[in-house]
Amino acid sequence: MSDAAASPPVADRRLRVLVFAASLRKDSVNAVLAQLAARHASRYGAVVDLASMRDFDVPSYDSDIEGQGDIPAGALELNRRLTANDAFVISSPEYNGSMPGLLKNAIDWASRFRPQPFHERHGMLMSASPSMGGGNRGLWALRIPLEHLGARIFPDMFSLAMAHKAFSGETIADARLQQRFEQNLIAFLDLAEAAKNYPCMKKAWVEFLGEPPDMPADRIEVT
């Protein structure tokens, strides 16, 4: 087999990453962190799709609405953008020790599509908060639905404490923290890029472990 036939063109092998902050707020500190991640990922060679949570804003999940086929535009858009990318980076606020309801709601809507768009995608989680904890507890909560859906969530997460004072222009003011942020992001991009171009195994994703395998499933099939 010729080299050209053995491997896809170089352009197709570049990692495609969806980046967004799970906040609708105009002055969101998580949006600043997401923009920083997008810039560094792009500089590192990834093809970056920087989105706004506004693109994925959806009404509360309602299976009656889904049953009528009225799928909200934000759910269709989140499914489309996840599917178009190999990996995702979410910068999420922490609300009451967990993830914001709007993010969980968007995940719930997107989980209804088949193929299920989180399955086998690589994800990195980050957070920013004015608190000393940096919103890190919320990320542990966010891992649960994403891993349940078969996403490969990178073990290292980045949380920026006292975020309202942490930025200097477009970077993190503390040079060591900025370096840690870059190292964390690059380690994630390297792993996701390796998994994209050098896949060594595929893992089956089983929905609702413990339920009978022959149960009928009603889902939004995407053709």
Ligand X SMILES: Cc1cc2nc3c(=O)[nH]c(=O)nc-3n(C[C@H](O)[C@H](O)[C@H](O)COP(=O)(O)O)c2cc1C
101 touching ligand X, by CB under 6 A: no
Residue numbers 116-145 binding ligand X by CB under 6 A? 129-131, 133, 135
Residues 82 and 118 sit within 8 Å (Cβ to Cβ): yes
97 touching ligand X, by CB under 6 A: yes
Nearest to 131 by CA among 93, 101, 181, 104: 93
Please count the residues of this chain forming the interface with ligand X, following the rule CB under 6 A: 16
Which range binds ligand X by CB under 6 A, 71-79, 95-103, 150-158, 208-216?
Answer: 95-103
Rg of the chain's alpha carbons, rounded to an integer?
18
90 touching ligand X, by CB under 6 A: no
95 touching ligand X, by CB under 6 A: yes
Residue 9: φ, ψ to 5°: -55, 150
Considering only residues 7, 13, 25, 222, which one is a binding residue for ligand X as defined by CB under 6 A? 25
54 touching ligand X, by CB under 6 A: no
Give the binding site for ligand X (CB under 6 A). Answer: 21, 23, 25, 28-30, 93-97, 129-131, 133, 135
